[in-house]
Chain A
Amino acid sequence: MRYEAPESLEGAVALLAGAKGETRVLAGGTDLLVQMRADIVEPDLIVDIKKIPETRAIAEEKGGWRIGAAVTGAELKEHPRLKKVWPGVIEAANLIGSTQVQGRATMGGNLCNGSPAADSVPALIAAGAVATLAGPNGKRDLPVEDVMLGPRKLALQKGEIVASFLLPPRPPRSSDAYLRFIPRTEMDIAVVGAGVSLTVDGAGVITAARVALGAVAARVLLVPEAAQAIIGGRLDKPAQDRLEAAAQAACRPIDDKRGTVEFRIQVAGVLARRAALIALDRARSN
């Protein structure tokens, strides 16, 4: 089993594009090492991307924020300004696992692991984040909601990696929130995840919104109908009910050891509503 730690995107891409056999990208390793130990995967080549500067940087860009794919949840939390602009994205990344896991886990890894229950993904999608991919044919951008196609299936071509995420510029009076349901208070994989990002005008009316749901379908869903349900109002009770219904209608979950179909659908509605209320509260005070 080979281990390489290239220091440039081109180096990483070349290794991945040219490799024969099973290859895996290593960022935080909080999924890869577990899968290796469980004999789910036995890579021939591991490409550690943490020495590549683009994957580790957090910087403002054209009014938005570019976050490297290998920035850890803990580093995101410690950034002095990110959590004021994107509290939902930051809290989502910091719900993954434990303090120890957050010291290593990255949003790039969380997305590319291909689990529909990934915590940071609904928040990124609600935020309208765009993933910048680097590959043998150069760089290209893909909205995060288009990166995961299904469980462990990504829209990446051979040799492509996610290098960074771009969070768009934030209009005033905008904020976001992420909630998930787990049976304990920490440590569980999300049974349902809901990310909501919204903007209000001076009168407190929601002018823009995005709602994303995790762990309720084969991929993380962007639910435009749920957003439509709340745009144009102040999230009064009828709007909340419409939001809940729209969220539930979008779900296509499975029964598994973490939750039943029934439970996931029901709770998806509850969480979408609660996350929207938190985002609204935050947006109003921004």
Chain B
Amino acid sequence: MAETNGHANGTNGQHAVGTRTIRPDGVDKVTGRARFGADYNLPGQLVGRVLRSPHAHARIVSIDIRKAEALPGVKAVITRDDFPDQPSEFIPAGEMMMNYKDVVRNVMAREKALYEGHAVAAVAATSVAIARKALKLIDVTYEVLPHVIDVVAAMAANAPLLHDDLFTAGVEPKPDKPSNIAKRIEIKLGDVDAGFAKADLVVDREFKTAPVHQGYIEPHAALATVSEDGTTECWTTTQGHFIVRAHCARLLGLDIGKVRVTATEIGGGFGGKTVVYLEPLAIALSKKAKRPVKMVMSREEVFKASGPTSGATVRVKLGATKDGKFVAAFAELKYQAGAFQGSPVQPGVMCAYAPYDIENVHVIGYDVVSNRPKVAAYRAPGAPISEYAVESVVDEIAKKLGIDPIQLRMMNAAREGTKAAYGPKFGPIGLEETLNSIKKTEHWNTPLRKWQGRGVASGFWFNIGGETCVSLTVNEDGTISLMAGTPDIGGLRASLAAVAADELGVPYDKVRPIIGDTGSLGFNFLTGGSRSAFSGSMAIVEAAKLIKADLIARAGKLWEAKPDQVEWRDGAVRPLGALAEKVKPMTVADFAKVAGKTGGPIAGLGRINAQGAGPSFGTHLVDLEVDPETGRVTILRYTVAQDAGKALHPAYVEGQYQGGAVQGIGWALNEEYIYGEDGKLQNAGFLDYRMPVASDVPMIDTVLVEVANPKHPYGVRGVGETPIVPPLGAIANAIENATGIRFTELPMSPPKVLKALTDKGLNKVS
């Protein structure tokens, strides 16, 4: 384990980092006191509800709101007329790109309703009953159009067109006819044709996945209040309140400085709460009604009107020598973006072969619109899909060449210095360590019985840094107030408090972390890209540096010392040399008592655009059992080995590994959006959108690998997203191991498994 700047082993005198502290926001969460999105209320607030399109694709000919507006108790009704149009402009939005022209249309349908559930109008009323009645009084005239759902069907030449101004980008010559194919991208390394010519074995397969939802238990909720001078306050459950502020200001023509957004506690996001749905509506309604407006989505609305991730068709063609060296890798990814362009096909392309050192790589990706909700990010967006396909083919190659699947991956593993096909050269990375860890587990060495199978798969996410601003304040009694600007979705405050405590040499429980609103800090990019602990801790180190420099200067004045007679070490400012006989060291708490006399409040702002995010590699191992008479798959045992760089809080890092693995289990076995011929979603609830329950999964064992990221003061790598990348491949590989059948379509639900077994005459227990 590499040393990095002495931070990793607590030379500041304290040792909270790396230990299993109690999270500071924990008591409120176990007592029901913590306030999530729907728990906020303002006096005089109105109830906001949304009218949604019942059609998958329709022109909106007219909207008549007069009867709704006239209903007693209705204080405002809004439609597309309340949102100015936005010109087309692509803006980076973390790991994906977005375009405000599309955002304004997704938030409120304009020319067309592009999916069942698309918002068409909204009302604010004095009660739920009146709001519901008002929605029924809104008269919308639709011209129903043919719809298209499946990504391949949407790419066909005669498919129903969603946007007549969408021309495929990335193809030459520029097309003159609009299409549902928004974009074609590709990455190339070397020469795949030459590579395939050298291969002794080529496996070429096509895979299909269905859209799946992030499945956060807390529905979207927003509360907004707008004053007569345009001052706007909004409380919302979000992964990025600064982003919400930016979107709402832009969509409604407000000064950013006049909009203050508070991130409530958030009940799950996984990428799905990085965009706006209700906030612009609540603000627009509040502006019109001149009263606060509260809006909460029902579970059905969450499924129908918030973005799942793409369904996709993926072709993978991988060539290897008979000794197992990968010599050529090709893939073609067709990802469905939903109603507006912007699927995660780019990261899908980037991540597909990233775990491997391959000389010749060619990956093509298509971003395709279809009449489904606009996709939103879902934990390592795009990567689980492409890596499911690649890891399945890697497994097939291992089997055909008679090489152990871990051994095969080791032989081809990306290492420090490997050039990834999407561009960068890797610094120190932990893929091999995770593979070795898995090999050493008791799990790997436990024998299996008939109808049981074992599968392994690796995966990766590149992780991001980004704009971060935190403030550290020393209070009069020596306690520390830490204000971060990235919503805490899973234990962040505990990790950041530990870093602040160790940096300033104070006990952990003397640090009180909060998530500040947009008015309290400089811009913070959202919680996503596995960035919040990585960037937040980096910014805290910067803020602490400022404070320590300030304290050294104050000590210099107090002790009448020269700079070379004073240093910060082991949690205090210390006199050096002869001075040490005259004065005693002073801790942060000591300075707090004399802050006013020595220059005023002690505080530091850490303001960075965090760079140097290190990728996190993981390898998963799963044992499962197939019931050949029913096709039911039972997960028996699961181990995750993943590189965290440095686990600021081991329990919450383990939690990320376990949570992502179980989401992957659901995705692999049972979760999917089921559409009827009419383009309507048939399973818009937790009954038939089948996420894993407690009895569906075993304990998820974890191995914390730590290959320090040299670009972070503590060696931290983001960990939140990688865990969902390997499960799909690992489970498909385990089912192949148990049954001899390779499933190339997800989910691998019982009817599919049973049919495949029956077709081969294998559906008998004995």
Contacts and interface: CB of A to CB of B under 8 A. Distances in A.
Contacts of B631: 263
Q: Size class of A's contact patch?
A: 10 to 19
B690 A188 contact: yes
A14 B632 CA distance: 48
A270 interface: yes
B751 interface: yes
A263 B750 contact: yes
24 contacts: A38-B300, A181-B630, A181-B632, A183-B669, A183-B670, A183-B690, A183-B749, A184-B670, A184-B693, A185-B634, A185-B693, A185-B695, A185-B696, A186-B696, A187-B687, A189-B687, A257-B674, A257-B682, A258-B688, A262-B755, A263-B754, A266-B763, A267-B629, A270-B630
A258 B669 CA distance: 14
Given A183-B632, A186-B695, 12 more contacts: A183-B749, A184-B690, A185-B693, A185-B695, A185-B696, A186-B693, A187-B693, A188-B690, A257-B674, A262-B755, A267-B629, A270-B629
A151 B301 CA distance: 27
A259 interface: yes
B126 interface: no
Contacts of A266: 754, 758, 763
A184 B750 contact: no
Interface string B731-763: 000000000000000000111001100100001
B683 A257 contact: yes
A30 to B, nearest CB: 11
Which of A187, A259, A263, A270 has the largest number of chain B CB atoms within 10 A? A263
Q: Size class of B's contact patch?
A: 20 to 34
A136 B608 CA distance: 78
Contacts of A262: 751, 755
Nearest to B672: A257
B692 interface: yes
Contacts of B754: 263, 266-267
Contacts of B670: 183-184
Interface in A189-209: 189, 191
A286 interface: no
Nearest to B666: A184
Contacts of A188: 687-688, 690
A260 interface: yes
Nearest to B751: A263
Interface in A65-119: none
Interface string B674-688: 100000001100011
Contacts of A257: 674, 682-683, 688
Given A257-B674, A267-B630, A184 B692 contact: yes
Nearest to A187: B693
Interface in A110-168: none
Nearest to B688: A257
Given A183-B670, A185-B696, A260 B751 contact: yes
Contacts of A186: 693, 695-696
Contacts of A38: 300
Contacts of B687: 187-189
A108 to B, nearest CB: 21
Contact of B751 (A187, A189, A259, A270): A259
Contacts of B692: 184
Nearest to A270: B629
A243 B725 CA distance: 44
Interface string A236-274: 000000000000000000000111101100110010000
Contacts of A267: 629-630, 754
Contacts of B693: 184-187
Interface string B650-683: 0000000000000000000110001000000011
Contacts of B632: 181, 183
Interface in A4-56: 38
Nearest to A37: B298
A270 to B, nearest CB: 5
